[in-house]
Amino acid sequence: MSKINLLSFISLFIFFGCANTYKLEKKSSLSFKESYYTLFSSAVKDGDSGYNIYLVLNDSINLEEDEINLKGVYFKDGYSDLKKQENNLYQAFITVKGSGITSEKDYSTAKKEKNKVPFSLKENEAVISYKEKGKQRYFKIVLKNKKTIDIPM
């Protein structure tokens, strides 16, 4: 009887311990002036395509002072590290290998390698992964779709 109780306890501990790994924050110290994405496609037939994601932090945010380290972003079925471009501008690229995507519709039907995104995301939702004072955090935001002008090559 005690072996069954021990196994039950261990199973519950593992189950509930793993369930909290990706807990979304309801509020965050992060705030953005602008957050958007654009679609890109390769000029080569069956070339890589995907999304450019741009996050512009509010001027009031001081990442060093607040001990915040931006890690990456989950969007659609992918994940990418965030890279600092300018003072408050961060950028990420989510690529779909050899998809030849030219529109949102193509993306949803493209055969792609799916990253395991541990969140349920709606059409324009993304999750920012960051560390604040050494603790891993996740915060959901909405990205605007900025249309780009396609110029044939």
pLDDT of residue 57: 96
pLDDT band at 3 (very low <50, low <70, confident <90, very high): low
Q: What angle do CA 141, 78, 110 make, to 5 degrees?
A: 120
User: Tens digit of pLDDT for each residue in 102-146?
Assistant: 555 554 444 344 457 888 889 899 999 999 999 999 999 999 999
CATH architecture of the domain with residue range 24-145: Sandwich (2.60)
Asked if 71 and 134 touch (Cβ cutoff 8 Å), the reply is no
Rounded Cα distance, 92 and 111, in Å? 21
pLDDT at 109: 44
- What are the boundaries of each domain within the chain? 24-145
pLDDT at 48: 79
Higher pLDDT, 43 or 82: 82
Task: Tell me the C-alpha distance between 55 and 70, whole Å.
Answer: 11
What's residue 75's pLDDT? 93
Q: Is the pLDDT of residue 19 over 80?
A: no
| Predicted structure pTM score | 0.73
Tell me: pLDDT of 90 over 90: yes
In this predicted structure, what is the pLDDT of residue 11? 53
What are 10's two structure tokens? Answer: 């261990």
Secondary structure element (H or E) that encloses residue 80, with its range: strand 78-81
